[in-house]
Amino acid sequence: MMTMGRGEIRISLLVLLAAAAEGYDYGDALSKTLLFFKAQRSGRLGSDNSINWRWDSALSDGKAEGAELVGGYYDAGDNVKFGLPMAFAMTMLSWAAADHFSTHSDLFDAIKWGTDYLINAHTQPNTLFVQVGDGDSDHLCWMRPEDMTTSRTAYKIDEAHPGSDVAGETSAALAAASIAFKQRDSSYSHTLLQHAQQLFTFATAHKGSYQDSIPGASKYYKSYQNEDEVVWAAAWLYKATNERQYLDYVVQNAASVTDDCQMKEVSWETKCGAVQVLVSKIYMEEKQELQGLQKYKERADFFTCACMQKNQNAADNVELTPGGLIYVRPWNNLEYASANAAVMAIYSKYLDGRGVRCSNGESLTDDQILEAARSQADYILGKNRMGMSYVVGVGPKFPQRVHHRAASIDVNSEAYRQLSMDGPERLCAGGYAKFYPTSDPNPYVITGALVGGPAKDDTYLDARDSYEQSEPTLSGTSTASLLFAVLSSSHNHGAAAAVQLMHSIVSKWSVGNTQYCHHKVVITAANSNTTITDLKFRIDHLSPGTTLWGLSKLPPQDNEAGIFYALPPWANSIHSTSTHTVLYVQRCQQAKISLLSYRQL
């Protein structure tokens, strides 16, 4: 609403962030999900390990094969390292960083822990280790990774045993990470890019599905197609290098990921919906008049309309539960819901006001698409039939009996002590007898884990043996992290007001046919008895070269895009009796100011 007064046009803008009955704190949810990756770490955890119930483990991985495969992440509630979902998880986390949705230090730590391992797994230009451990033998034991006695065989793909799907996904992960680290660590970024380019060449020269080379992989992470990962890698490499060869590959192989691809889900197995959105940004920003790129844009629209049930043919739409959750399949459904929502949210940003027109004749605005994505996040965080958060450690009610070996075995218990005294083999079977079947809550809270989620009727069984619902995964939690990162960077998400911004236009003038405005933003605490400190903002639509008074840019290593700001040191807090003023001059379109993080005293 606009009112005239004292020569100013006042526009009240509430920046909404803190959790309340009407909304959720996506920044806090992001921070929590990143802790899950610390709990999943394999290898030497170091003195800064903050998960006190996790210790060093699997320190001989790769030794028998002559490779350094110590590190990386355990996949889920088990102790196997599966390369395809791990690489996908790193791509999702890197997307959040590469597109500047978050500068959280734990995000970069989580990415680097994974990409360090992927680099080590890429031992030769055409050789990539893609699995450590055997799913069958691992699943015979219920034991902590620190106590493992199961097989740690390492499996690889090479020229004679190709796997263009996992090679492509690993290339995509490293290319996306190279963008994320470009400003923070240029040397590491260069290393990441070199490996990404080599793996892309390997994937294009030696096509094939990795489970044909590693038969045991198909039981756990079967890949039904392999071209979508290679096109996905090409898109990320073009974004990282601006080299035309990668864009040409995207255009030349458009049919394989537009006409012949699953367009109702994004997951570790199918990248089709995600690659449409990523390539659409290239098409819209660079105005590349290439028919192949236009097709990607059309299919990105189709994917978005499918997620919102706006395609004319009902069979072209995703299914929703009665409570409104995107439903793809019974096992680990929240990965698909959070992944689809994250990609929708990103697309709403890329569209930049263009919106989408669906085949049923409806037009969707960017805000409507973002709200649809937000509804999935809100469901995950508690707005659901069960009234619980499906992210462990978030909110007052969350899963207590997560299907997770390390989190469910109390190392201080008498049962564990007795089993340990009887030898490692007793820990294997004894874990299933002593710890797996109990109805007691897990002794350790695996904060940030996104569990598999509710059934088709929105019900959830909080039991360890209900693994379709209660097991968390790297891939699922990574897509939730990406979703929360995008939403926490948004300037209008539906949570309680933490601060209030009053945007004023102090004066206007014209230079030729261009009108300029002197903008003023007054920041106040929204609650009368609250002091807010360490505020960090994202500012969009600030014209290049515009000087901003009253906020300080974050250091370049945390601010490659130059859009992140903080209160200056001399005014680092706001309380009920104080205000803080920000001034800038540009054309009369106001900048979008988003509150990213803060501390409440």
Euclidean distance between CA atoms 26 and 118, whole angstroms: 29
Lowest mean pLDDT among 44-53, 155-164, 179-188, 483-492: 483-492
So what's the pLDDT on residue 147?
95
So what's the pLDDT on residue 289?
60
Judge whether residue 539 has pLDDT over 70: yes
The alpha helices in 164-286, defined as continuous H runs, are: 164-180, 186-205, 210-213, 227-241, 244-252, 254-258, 272-286
So what's the pLDDT on residue 240?
98
Euclidean distance between CA atoms 454 and 470, whole angstroms: 9
CATH of domain 2-16+495-600: 2.60.40.290
Question: For a pLDDT cut of 70, what percent of the chain falls above it?
Answer: 92
So what's the pLDDT on residue 18?
33
So what's the pLDDT on residue 225?
84
Split at pLDDT 50, 70, 90, the class of 527 is: low
Neighbours of 215 (CB within 10 A): 9
Split at pLDDT 50, 70, 90, the class of 405 is: very high
Write the burial class of residue 195 (CB in 10 Å: 0-12 exposed, 13-18 middle, 19+ buried). Answer: buried
So what's the pLDDT on residue 162?
97
Chain segment 255-270, per-residue pLDDT in tens: 888 776 778 999 999 9
| Mean pLDDT calculated for residue range 586-599 | 79
| Mean pLDDT calculated for residue range 468-478 | 98
Chain segment 120-135, per-residue pLDDT in tens: 999 999 999 999 999 9
Q: Which residues are catalytic?
A: 403
**Pairing status of strand 2-5 against strand 81-82:** unpaired
CA-closest candidate to residue 473, choices 129, 89, 169: 89
| Mean pLDDT calculated for residue range 84-105 | 95
So what's the pLDDT on residue 361?
94
Lowest mean pLDDT among 28-37, 84-93, 198-207, 418-427: 418-427
The count of residues in the chain is 601
Average pLDDT, the chain: 90
Domains of the chain, by residue range, sit at 2-16+495-600, 23-395+468-488
Q: Supply 358's token pair.
A: 């669906």
DSSP letter, residue 354: -
So what's the pLDDT on residue 260?
64
So what's the pLDDT on residue 498?
66
The set of residues, in sequence order, having a beta carbon less than 8 Å from that of 204 and lying 6+ positions away, is: 164, 230, 249
DSSP letter, residue 248: H
Chain segment 483-508, per-residue pLDDT in tens: 999 999 874 443 334 677 777 788 88
Judge whether residue 300 has pLDDT over 50: yes
Percentage helix, strand, coil, to 5, in the chain?
40, 20, 40
Pick the most confident of 95-109, 317-331, 571-585: 317-331
Chain segment 1-60, per-residue pLDDT in tens: 233 333 333 333 333 333 333 468 899 999 999 999 999 999 999 888 999 999 999 999
The model carries a pTM of: 0.82
DSSP letter, residue 124: B
Pick the most confident of 99-113, 242-256, 318-332: 318-332
Radius of gyration, CA atoms only, the chain: 25
CB 53 within 8 A of CB 446: no
Question: For a pLDDT cut of 90, what percent of the chain falls above it?
Answer: 70
Pick the most confident of 101-110, 260-269, 436-445: 436-445
State the fold for domain 23-395+468-488. Glycosyltransferase (1.50.10)
